[in-house]
Amino acid sequence: MKCCVSYRLFPVTLGNIVFIIARLAHGEASYSFDDNLLLGSGLAGGKIERFNRVNQIDPGSYMVDLYLNNDFVNRSQVMFRSRGDSVEPCFSESFFRQSLSARGTREQGSAATVDCIGLSDRLPGASFKLDTARLRLELTAPQVLLDIKPRGYISPQEWDPGNSMAFLNYDANVYRSSYQASGGGNSNFGYLGLHSGANVGLWRFRHQSSYSYSASKGSSPGQWNSIRTYVQRAVPEWGSELTIGETYTEGNLFGSVGYRGARLATDDRMLPDSQRQYAPQVRGTANSNARIIISQDGRKIHEVSVPPGPFMIDDLYGTAYNGDLDVQVVEADGSVSRFTVPYAAVPDSIRPGLSRYSATFGELMLNGSGTEKFLELTYQRGLTNALSANLGSRVAQDYVALLGGGVLATPFGAFGVNSIFSSATIENNQRTKGWRLGLNYSRTFQPTNTTLTLAGYRYSTEGYRDLSDAVGTRNANVRGESWDSSSFKQRNQLTLMVNQALGSYGSVYLSGSKSDYYDGKSRDIQAQFGYSNSWGRLSYNLAYSRQRTTWYRNNTDSRDLGMPEDGYLQQGRSQNNSLTFSISMPLGGSNNSSSLSSMVARRSGDTKGSSFQTGLSGTFGEGRTLSYALAAGRDSDRRGMDWSGTLQNQTSVGTFNGGYSESSNYQQFNGGMRGAAVLHGGGVTLGPYVGDTFALVQAKGASGSAIRGGQGARVDRNGYAVMPSLSPYRYNSVGLDPRGIGEDAELLETERKVAPYSGAAVLVTFKTLTGHALLIRAKLADGSSLPLGADVVNEHGVNLGMVGQGGNVYARASDEKGQLRVKWGDRPEESCQLPYDLSESPAGANQALIHLVGVCMTNQERQ
């Protein structure tokens, strides 16, 4: 009978094969499923025709990556419901408004439908596309129906506060040197840096300290140094961050100072990437449905479609040093209008409508001890495209400073001006008052592609004092000591940085600074010049630097009236010039290829004269986690060679390095290790050195799986691994590489996206299947094959897949014995139980894929 059935099906099967070949011959690779082909064969009942429909998925709830108009929204649990002959996604009204930014509201229907509103019902004209292989749901909706957010916007509801856990970063290094100079001898040095923290909810506790040890002639014993201890918490309602403890103020308006106290300040990281840096608003009017094309320096940086009427674009990414914006309005009839928006900025520039503030109160920390209490307030506001305003004040005992200024953007560049007035009581209860004026300028000259990155000038009157200098001089006077700092009694400071692109001829940079003081005639001048280019795979660089310091001191002690006054002026001058030429090139075409580099340097005043050095560096090993560097050199006045070698290995539990160097005068050994230990509910996990924001990956049973971009981190035998760094308030991809995973486990997902709060320690859990991999050739109790495409679930209701050709069932079993459920319909008789027993395998359970034969019986047949 089976023979006859097969014979009757043969013409139909042959006809379909001929049809498919004909379609392929005409360039069409489409195919379809037909349940009729399986009628009478014992393979029917699986309803495989449902896979002919686009976006085919069975009704139910699925975790998918959701995209709206090609932008990632979030990873969500989405309900798919039947509607006619198709299946479509549906969402709650709150999800439409919060996650999809839908405008308006929907008329509330029955309670049964309020949490499952069809996409086209809520957003007329919207459509969806589902990639079932990647579980990616793409939604397309008319822009007019959406509340458009700036590019890169992530709803605060999506920010992940993380989990309660603690961590300890360590950075340890040891050195041992043997030298022949000054009678010879040995020296040993050690350093241990610790950075620890604990997270509870949104509160983050941090402590940083170090230990230094030295054993050499005249050295002091080792000692601990507590650097800072503080607690932080994000305040998302205000777009701010609260810090309590020992840390430092920002130095953008006033000079940075260390303090012990509290600080509440705007956290720009909470803004989308398209809002963080300064960029002007682009306003105009479209006469029809138009395309707005914005270019900078000949490169298109943004394009958007707008309806007729006025438009405003305020989500450009910050690219201040590339010049003015060229805006084209391309109308529906093809006509084009153009205008230019000036674009130049300095660090204090702020977008129109945005503001920053900070409020700090505490004790000023000088030389590691709390001293004067102080209060600092700052406020910055972007008023228009062309104007930003700055205000600030610092108040302490016998000290006050007031700041005012802003930024003016013009077609000739951006000008930043800040003026500070200070009044302070200094040594011997003397009162001094003064001003400091700061000027900044930035401009890109597009005809020559010359970028004046930053030009700054600062002038202070003799009576001006920074807060740290005023308090420092008072404290030093009490102790009978003198006070000095880089800002103390500074008169003038000028800085300049210019970059010039030369196209195929390379690029040139020039930078310099000049400072002088009121303490006599001290003056410091620095200048750097560089040129870089490449020839084929060879890169080369020429750099020149010059530093000159001149000082004068008027010595009035034991003055001899018979000597001229100039004889009592002591003058000193130091000058260093350096010229360096270097080349480098890879020795192969792959990413693992070694790189060869050479350098020759000439320094004035250096007893070595010219020096020459050649080095070889590269990486090797799976994942390029092992790196090496070899170098050899000599100078023009000596015959001996200097050479050194280092080796570094990034492992799953940390980074280890070692090195050796030798010359005719010394030998040195060094070694170190760097990593982190994370304490959490599942135990302690070792991994690479973590940043302030990181992730703990949990993938039970996936031991050996590598973390993509994890600096060598792998899932340990307990099922945990450390992802060392995440960007706060941004979506981060956390991925697992299944290579290296054991044969008794498989990953159900390999990538997750998280948007953590700053300082969060996020637990990212990956679903896995563990156990023995089974391939069961199954039949029904009457000897017929299981329906093709029927669903297969385990004892816990987890969907494992579907029945393949020939009734083959693939599953992963955690127990030696058990049963699977096969379902091809909603009626009780349209499902059966498939038992398995690993002891029945001819090769036993110790193999990668266990082959079994089984019979699937319905509930009635089992009874």
260 in any annotated domain: no
**Tokens 């590598």 correspond to what residue?**
706
Distance of alpha carbon 52 from alpha carbon 42, whole angstroms: 21
328 in any annotated domain: yes
Q: What is the mean pLDDT of residues 176-202?
A: 85
671 in any annotated domain: no
Q: Would the pLDDT of 431 be above 70? A: yes
**Tokens 């973590």 correspond to what residue?**
690
215 in any annotated domain: no
175 in any annotated domain: no
Identify the sign of the CA torsion 829, 61, 732, 721. negative
Phi and psi torsions of 861, nearest 5°: -70, -30
Per-residue pLDDT tens digits for 793-818: 877 777 777 888 888 888 877 777 88
Distances (CA, A) of 26 to 14, 20, 52: 19, 10, 21
pLDDT at 20: 44
pLDDT at 382: 92
Q: What is the mean pLDDT of residues 571-592?
A: 81
Amino acid at 211: Y
What is the model's pTM? Answer: 0.73
pLDDT at 280: 85
Domain count, the chain: 4
712 in any annotated domain: no
Least confident segment among 285-294, 447-456, 731-740: 447-456
674: closest CA among 659, 689, 691?
689
Tokens representing 495 are 């800085």
φ/ψ bin of 520: left (φ > 0), alpha (ψ from -120 to 50), beta (otherwise): left
765: closest CA among 732, 719, 730?
719
Per-residue pLDDT tens digits for 505-549: 999 989 888 888 887 667 888 899 999 999 988 999 999 988 887
Tokens representing 224 are 């601990």
pLDDT at 758: 94
Least confident segment among 83-97, 366-380, 708-722, 827-841: 366-380
Per-residue pLDDT tens digits for 669-715: 999 999 999 999 999 999 999 999 999 999 888 888 889 888 889 99
φ/ψ bin of 298: left (φ > 0), alpha (ψ from -120 to 50), beta (otherwise): left
Phi and psi torsions of 57, nearest 5°: -160, 145
Q: Would the pLDDT of 18 be above 60? A: no
pLDDT at 563: 40
Distance of alpha carbon 509 from alpha carbon 501, whole angstroms: 9
Range of the domain at 846: 771-862
CATH code at 126?
A: 3.10.20.410
Q: Would the pLDDT of 263 be above 70? A: yes
Distance of alpha carbon 89 from alpha carbon 733, whole angstroms: 25
pLDDT greater at residue 770 or residue 490: 490
CATH code at 324?
A: 2.60.40.3110
CA angle 567, 568, 573 (to 5 degrees): 90
Distance of alpha carbon 411 from alpha carbon 605, whole angstroms: 46
Tokens representing 540 are 């080369």
Q: Would the pLDDT of 2 be above 50? A: no
pLDDT at 284: 83
CATH code at 844?
A: 2.60.40.2070
Please say which residue of 148, 163, 190 terminates a domain.
Answer: 148
Tokens representing 417 are 């001006």
Q: Would the pLDDT of 157 be above 50? A: yes
443: closest CA among 405, 499, 492?
499
**Tokens 């604990």 correspond to what residue?**
198
Rg (alpha carbons) of the chain, rounded to whole number: 36
pLDDT at 793: 86
357 in any annotated domain: no
529 in any annotated domain: yes
Please say which residue of 148, 163, 186 terminates a domain.
Answer: 148
**Tokens 């020459």 correspond to what residue?**
612
Please say which residue of 302, 325, 341 terminates a domain.
Answer: 341
